[in-house]
Amino acid sequence: MQELTHYINGAHVKGTSGRFADVYNPATGEIQATVPLANAAEMDQAVVFATAAQQSWASVNPQRRARVLMKFVDLLNRDMEKLAEALSHEHGKTIPDAKGDVIRGLEVVEYCIGAPQLLKGEYTDSAGPGIDMYSMRQSLGVTAGITPFNFPAMIPMWMFAPAIACGNAFILKPSERDPSVPLMLAELFEEAGLPKGILQVVNGDKEAVDAILHHDVIQSIGFVGSTPIAEYIYATGCAEGKRVQCFGGAKNHMIIMPDADMDQAADALLGAGYGAAGERCMAISVAVPVGDDTADRLMEKLIPRVEALKVGPYTAGSDVDYGPVVTAAAKANIERLVQTGIDQGAKLVVDGRNFNLQGYEDGFFVGAHLFDNVTKDMDIYKYEIFGPVLSTVRAQTYEEALGLAMDHEYGNGTAIFTRDGDTARDFANRVNVGMIGINVPIPVPLAYHTFGGWKKSVFGDLNQHGPDAFKFYTRTKTVTARWPSGLKEGGEFSIPIME
């Protein structure tokens, strides 16, 4: 069995805490590796190396830092197949989905190559008599990120690419469920020319998280995961004086208007609701058809599509629509919520409870489920299921449908399918959700826009990637300069007035 390591100061380092977690093959249920769980001393070791390396890296001009990112992009493309294979083997998602995971991270790295432009400050000539003023963006120092299992390539790159482009060192604490790809990314970045100690991977659980939160050298923390943990990290990190951005849970609605193309809407729900086994924070988990006729027409299109979904291991190639969920505990939680939906009166129109894959009976596979007649007081509506379960809530009017998305505690993403521009524009303007799709089911912005939700889906002032990332990973310093030829004799005892 493989024993994984940390990646500290450019080398694979065995864990010393004596604690380990099992890493499973989700398709077979077998333990395929163990990963060390760091203690505070191991985290501190990484911080010491990061601190020693960071000042020299920050002094490298942004253009040369960008060249390292360019080379990193080349290496990601070179090793795309290898990264996707490793990701699928530990996470369970299909190879095309795994490649998408890597590519959406790669796109943020490409954006960060623009660091020379994005880090430019401002300058005011002659702000006062003989006085000039200018601002500069400077790195924070040592930064850290805590990332989830569902995107083991994309979300780490969303964090460490801008942090490093800004001149920071970065310590990554990835999910212990699928840690191999983050280790591979750190190796590739150093192969691209990144100095040792600038990107380090320290595996762990809550003990490692708490070590990050309470370490007085670490200046900022990024987190993606569940809302309860996001709230804990945000509150604790802020209390420790750190800059913190935390992204939590989601319950994304897709509203289907009577004039929508039902084939298009059904196809969109299929991919957005069941892709990656529903283990996406931007998955559509609630379909809201407006009017019973719309709901009936949607169900007529959707039911046979859901029933025809192919579930299996990623090794089956193009014959698989989605794979297993990540752990046995995740599977059990999904099945519990499905039963709760039935018990609370929802109509299960596609029942995936008896799904069984020959030869993979011990794998963490969950069949596709489709509910109709769900109401907003039911648990399957209120809670994030994070599995291949789509709930249909029938709304009688557009205002009722809009209200469902607006009243839910989560506000990550939402979508509307319609041919009416006025309705779409009204929806985009009024709904209190961070990312909106108009005839687009998963409205994940591209790298040069920012990613982030509202309400209990986010904690912090700045979003991920795009311009916000360069604000999050830098501090602004403003300089007011006057040279001796413009000085008057005698001291000044009042605030200077720029006249």
Supply the CATH number for residue 467's domain: 3.40.605.10
* 349 falls within a domain: yes
Q: What pLDDT does residue 487 have?
A: 55
Together in a domain, 226 and 287: no
Residue 483 pLDDT class (50, 70, 90 cuts): confident
Residue 128 pLDDT class (50, 70, 90 cuts): confident
Together in a domain, 241 and 297: no
Residue 492 pLDDT class (50, 70, 90 cuts): low
Beta bridge partners of 169: 142
- Our count of domains for the chain comes to 2
Together in a domain, 104 and 123: yes
Together in a domain, 43 and 137: yes
pLDDT above 80 (res 486): no
Query: What is the overall mean pLDDT for the chain?
Result: 95
How far apart CA 385 and CA 479 sit, in angstroms, is 51
Residue type, 417: F
Together in a domain, 45 and 162: yes
Place of tokens 């420790």: 240
Residue type, 288: V
pLDDT tens-digit readout, 265-315: 999 999 999 999 999 999 999 999 999 999 999 999 999 999 999 999 999
* 321 falls within a domain: yes
* 6 falls within a domain: yes
Whether the Cβ atoms of residue 173 and residue 203 lie closer than 8 Å to each other: yes
Together in a domain, 244 and 260: no
* 268 falls within a domain: yes
The CATH number linked to 296 is 3.40.309.10
* 210 falls within a domain: yes
Together in a domain, 150 and 6: yes
What positions carry a catalytic annotation? 281
Place of tokens 């889906």: 457
Together in a domain, 269 and 237: no
Whether the Cβ atoms of residue 305 and residue 266 lie closer than 8 Å to each other: yes
Q: What pLDDT does residue 497 have?
A: 63
* 490 falls within a domain: no
Percent helix, strand, coil in the chain, to 5, is: 40, 25, 35
How far apart CA 55 and CA 228 sit, in angstroms, is 35
pLDDT above 90 (res 388): yes
Together in a domain, 223 and 282: no
Residue 235 pLDDT class (50, 70, 90 cuts): very high
Residue 222 pLDDT class (50, 70, 90 cuts): very high
Together in a domain, 244 and 159: yes
* 379 falls within a domain: yes
The mean pLDDT of 362-372, rounded to a whole number, is 97
Q: Print the domain residue range for 274.
A: 252-438
Using alpha carbons only, how large is the chain's radius of gyration in Å?
A: 25
* 21 falls within a domain: yes
pLDDT above 70 (res 344): yes
- Count of residues in the chain: 499
Together in a domain, 433 and 320: yes
3-state secondary structure of 173: strand
Final residue in a domain of this structure, among 384, 406, 438: 438
pLDDT tens-digit readout, 51-78: 999 999 999 999 999 999 999 999 999 9
pTM above threshold 0.85: yes
Together in a domain, 276 and 195: no
pLDDT above 60 (res 133): yes
